[in-house]
Structure 1
């Protein structure tokens, strides 16, 4: 259990009245997790999902005393522990699975799922019993919207989820709710995607009917020196595609380097890629809401490279 969770009985035992606790919450000195459970305000996180992850982990810690000893953290709660991408709707409650048929329970801060759990479907992360990475990916592939499920599955493969165990989990879930969708999700999952934005971009490119890109292509100069690794590439069309997430330049920064220096270095990299005869198309999160914009940028890049796309 996380020792940072403070229960109201402990506060009262230390002489704090209910009014004093309420004032501490108002002043921001305590954050209420659920009735009777509080934490100190969290430190700022560099994890792009850090706020969601920290908030839900506190909810898990505050809920643990209520859980049945054979309950296994699962779904979004397991995703928090495994370091998978997170989306707000999957974290509205603590999710656990019990090894039984049916018997699901939904409360305000707790969702109990009933389904078969083999030994291979369980593991321990830290000191918490949770569903395995393969089972967690499969459960979320069944339950999340398709695009989010793909992003989670991509990340699961990047975290070295065992493909054989994923296939076993898919087979086990074939008649469960969302089983067919899970198969569609895992059929297109690719562990080379390095962010949710890249996963969403890959689906957008596919839905636009554009040629399938190569992922994470390394581009070298005439002397064999690596210029850079690019998110998407169409080598036969001499075109590169890059998703620019809001945290991308933070990831690119080297020790001691300012954000401005990282941006300048990225510009030099882009110039070097163009010097090698590559066309470059970029897009952002906002562009993902307008898939026609991405398709237009790529088709124009293909045309500049002398390989127009007429599909």
Structure 2
């Protein structure tokens, strides 16, 4: 009865469940049948939990991690600020290829860092400017979050977060630069500086961020991002992911998991989306015949994609 009434609430300690009338045997039975889920060590919520995604964190896995954050904070008891990838999840930033197995918290002190089965507790300076609140929880700002991740994680993963931070409300390059200056002297700050220098909020998705990095590392000409295309009558046709000037110009489009790389608008059916995307594609080809599309599979094995682009970007006599 308690679990039905408490659906969507929690997290609860085992002692809380005991107080509500659930014995250990009842807790074990509720865990088996999905009426109760463990979100972190010693903390539970009523209802089933989403399984981990094989391809990367989706909305369900992000929600699962947020519950783990709440559970760890409640278990910890002492004040701490949600940080690193956990802060990125709470802000809704892209966290491509970053593990969500640990909740990351930071305390404003010089010592006491530790890492356990479900918690990575960081220590370091935290100013008032570094902290905001999301849903009543103290969280590092998007800019500070991006710098913390960039100091510790590989460039590509950090770039995805930094680009997403630049797209976040009330966050701009000045915020990112300020957070980088505040990290001066800390481990990994040179790595973070390289990420900040390359970050660009016009990359609208992880796939676009990683595509831009691939082109840079492969020596391709730098494209214009989010170029607005107008038709012969001056009306807007589309905004394209990548544009290279030339004769003819070349358009590049990354297609993610949604139909034709575009999210459905309210009331739009998948069939209508296919038709509209076909019309859009035909208009683009009239204006710039060279249109190159690619997917996640092309980014994993990019040789063919790079060859296609080089052929089109190489000036012809």
> TM-score when scaled to structure 1?
0.89
| Alpha-carbon distance between aligned partners in 1 of 2:142 and 2:268, rounded to the nearest angstrom | 35
Which of these residues, 167, 178, 198, is aligned with residue 177 of structure 2? 167
Is residue 8 of structure 1 aligned with residue 10 of structure 2?
A: no
| Secondary structure in structure 2 of the residue aligned to 1:236 | coil
| Alpha-carbon distance between aligned partners in 2 of 1:234 and 1:103, rounded to the nearest angstrom | 51
Across the two proteins, how many residue pairs are aligned to each other?
Answer: 303
Question: 1:263-274 maps to which residues of 2 (within 5 A)?
Answer: 263-274=274-285
- Of 183-192 and 104-113, deviating more is 104-113
> Which residue of structure 1 lines up, in the alignment, with residue 189 of structure 2?
179
C-alpha contact 1:52 1:86 (8 A) present in aligned 2: no
| Secondary structure in structure 1 of the residue aligned to 2:186 | coil
Is residue 280 of structure 1 aligned with residue 287 of structure 2?
A: no
In structure 2, relative to structure 1, the CA distance for the partners of 1:295 and 1:25 (3 Å cut) is: same
| Alpha-carbon distance between aligned partners in 1 of 2:173 and 2:98, rounded to the nearest angstrom | 27
In structure 2, relative to structure 1, the CA distance for the partners of 1:244 and 1:48 (3 Å cut) is: farther
| Secondary structure in structure 1 of the residue aligned to 2:219 | coil
> Which residue of structure 2 lines up, in the alignment, with residue 231 of structure 1?
241
| Alpha-carbon distance between aligned partners in 1 of 2:76 and 2:41, rounded to the nearest angstrom | 16
Which of these residues, 52, 62, 81, is aligned with residue 72 of structure 1? 81
| Alpha-carbon distance between aligned partners in 2 of 1:285 and 1:204, rounded to the nearest angstrom | 12
Q: What stretches of structure 1 of length at least 5 have no aligned partner? A: none
1:250 Cα deviation from its structure 2 partner: 7.3
Q: What stretches of structure 2 of length at least 5 have no aligned partner? A: 1-7
| Alpha-carbon distance between aligned partners in 1 of 2:182 and 2:191, rounded to the nearest angstrom | 14
Cα offsets for 1:61-102 (capped at 9, x unmatched): 111123354311111111111111124644221111111223
1:251 Cα deviation from its structure 2 partner: 4.4
1:302 Cα deviation from its structure 2 partner: 3.4
In structure 2, relative to structure 1, the CA distance for the partners of 1:48 and 1:251 (3 Å cut) is: farther
Which of these residues, 22, 30, 36, is aligned with residue 28 of structure 2? 22
C-alpha contact 2:130 2:141 (8 A) present in aligned 1: yes
1:249 Cα deviation from its structure 2 partner: 4.5
Is residue 255 of structure 1 aligned with residue 261 of structure 2?
A: no
> Which residue of structure 1 lines up, in the alignment, with residue 48 of structure 2?
41
| Alpha-carbon distance between aligned partners in 1 of 2:277 and 2:221, rounded to the nearest angstrom | 26
> Which residue of structure 2 lines up, in the alignment, with residue 197 of structure 1?
207
Question: 1:137-156 maps to which residues of 2 (within 5 A)?
Answer: 137-156=146-165
1:252 Cα deviation from its structure 2 partner: 3.1
What is the root-mean-square deviation of aligned Cα atoms in Å? Answer: 2.3
| Alpha-carbon distance between aligned partners in 1 of 2:209 and 2:61, rounded to the nearest angstrom | 20
> TM-score when scaled to structure 2?
0.88
